[in-house]
Amino acid sequence: MSLVIGIPKEHRPFEYRVGMTPAGVSILTARGHQCYVESGAGDGSGFPDVDFEKAGARIAYTPDEVFRRADLLLKVQRPTAEEVAWMAEDQMVMSMLMFTSVRESRIRAMQEKRITAIAYELIRDGNVLPVLYPLSQIGGRMCAQIAAQYLQNDKGGKGILLGGIASVPPADVVILGAGVVGTNAAQAFLGLGARVILMDRNLNKLQAAHDRFAGQVTTMVSHDFNLARVCTFADVLVGAVQIPGERAPMIVTREMVRSMRPGSLIIDLSIDQGGCVETSRPTYHDQPTFIAEGVIHYCVPNIPGVVGRTATHAFLNAAWPYIMHIVDQGLDATLQRYPGLQPALILRSGVSTKPAGD
């Protein structure tokens, strides 16, 4: 069965990723599928329109044309209200939906159009979230370069060099969450010479981190007493607490933030799921920080979006088997082949697939 696949340009601010590469389009068109790519969709990832045309795609010059024609939409970010309005009935969309922070009105609009929605971030392979995994790696590793910048005086920071030098100690970095994001952040901060404390409530994760970093990272259980204590001396506090499919737990209170020294930095990587710091609120890359209680807050939800080429390749490498199986074999056959896709099927023909009471 031949499908029409739509690859729109991402319309959220500072999102440079794209839902499919020219190489992927080439494979899809060679298998008899039609691909419509919105003009400029790949510019941020280094894929000009001509590359998509050479791969067999048709370039659409208005976004509504892509949305109107497609049987399957391949996106990165969850649809905006305008994009939902462009959608045709009975379409399928695959993207990072983050439904825990989507407005109810937008979900209802998708339900009314009988949309089938697959959330990349919820696809499972055993205990791993394979499509989210590389993006979590990227977000974690970008933390160190962000922190190095915002600890500078000219950015309002404390004037601290992350790694210090001889006779001057390095910065103290506290990372909340020893999952993929947290451990990759720890790796990046260690590489720049910072002193790192990694906190989690899961002792197995802390043991794994201790072994991985050969004791170079200090590990602590993240109960309230320890959280309150580390806030008093942390130069950088990284929130990397996530529960797949749920809102991030709020574990850092305003009082804890108030205890931090002026000019310290909070990077709340949980912000795309609501944030784990009471004083956090979403920001954008053009104005990524604000000050609350004398502390700099960096709360950009789509951090990997500004390394568009790396992030596009990374998540599509992981998503490709699911995309191809759905395109060639259909959704039902793909669910049988990949049972871990079921938790990611948020809507099916407009009907919520979440169990009652979940």
User: Residue 140 sits in a domain of what CATH number?
Assistant: 3.40.50.720
Q: Specify whether 32 is located in the same domain as 77.
A: yes
Q: Specify whether 280 is located in the same domain as 263.
A: yes
* pLDDT value of residue 356: 43
Structure tokens at 39: 């003009």
Does residue 294 lie within any of the structural domains?
yes
Task: Please provide the size of the chain in residues.
Answer: 358
Q: Residue 249 burial (CB < 10 Å; 0-12/13-18/19+)?
A: middle
Q: Specify whether 153 is located in the same domain as 279.
A: yes
Q: Specify whether 160 is located in the same domain as 261.
A: yes
Of 269, 289, 305, the residue at which a domain comes to its end is: 305
Tally of domains in the chain: 2
Distances (CA, A) of 226 to 118, 152, 210, 252, 257: 38, 27, 18, 11, 14
Q: Specify whether 343 is located in the same domain as 199.
A: no
Does residue 357 lie within any of the structural domains?
no
Which residue is it, tokens 């209170």? Answer: 253
Distances (CA, A) of 285 to 16, 19, 146, 282: 12, 20, 11, 10
* DSSP state letter for 97: -
Q: Specify whether 174 is located in the same domain as 286.
A: yes
Does residue 225 lie within any of the structural domains?
yes
SS3 category, 182: helix
* pLDDT value of residue 246: 83
* pLDDT value of residue 340: 96
Does residue 44 lie within any of the structural domains?
yes
* pLDDT value of residue 229: 97
Q: Which of 331, 348, 334, 335 is nearest to 115 (CA)?
A: 348
- ∠ CA(19), CA(25), CA(28), 5° rounding? 115
Of 286, 305, 324, the residue at which a domain comes to its end is: 305
Does residue 358 lie within any of the structural domains?
no
- Distance between first and last Cα of the chain: 35
Q: Which of 166, 168, 121 is nearest to 273 (CA)?
A: 121
Q: Residue 148, by phi and psi: left (phi above 0), alpha (psi -120 to 50) or beta?
A: alpha
Q: Specify whether 326 is located in the same domain as 210.
A: no
Q: Which domain holds residue 138?
A: 132-305
Q: Specify whether 324 is located in the same domain as 244.
A: no
Q: Specify whether 184 is located in the same domain as 277.
A: yes
Does residue 24 lie within any of the structural domains?
yes
Q: Specify whether 165 is located in the same domain as 294.
A: yes
Structure tokens at 55: 């791969």
Query: How do the pLDDT tens digits run along the chain, 358 residues long?
Result: 789 999 999 998 899 999 999 999 999 999 999 999 999 999 999 999 999 999 999 999 999 999 999 999 999 999 999 999 999 999 999 999 887 767 888 999 999 999 999 999 999 999 899 999 999 999 999 999 999 999 999 999 999 999 999 999 999 999 999 999 999 999 999 999 999 999 999 999 999 999 999 999 999 999 999 999 999 999 999 999 988 778 889 999 999 999 999 999 999 999 988 899 999 999 999 999 999 999 999 999 889 999 999 999 999 999 999 999 999 999 999 999 999 999 999 999 999 987 543 4
Does residue 36 lie within any of the structural domains?
yes
Taking a C-beta distance cutoff of 8 angstroms, is the pair 100, 123 a contact? Answer: no
Q: Specify whether 118 is located in the same domain as 194.
A: no
Cα–Cα distance, 41 to 24 (Å, whole number): 14
Beta bridge partners of 13: none
Q: Specify whether 216 is located in the same domain as 238.
A: yes
Which residue is it, tokens 């305003």? Answer: 254
Strand pairing report for 289-292 and 265-268: unpaired
Taking a C-beta distance cutoff of 8 angstroms, is the pair 7, 28 a contact? Answer: no
Does residue 38 lie within any of the structural domains?
yes
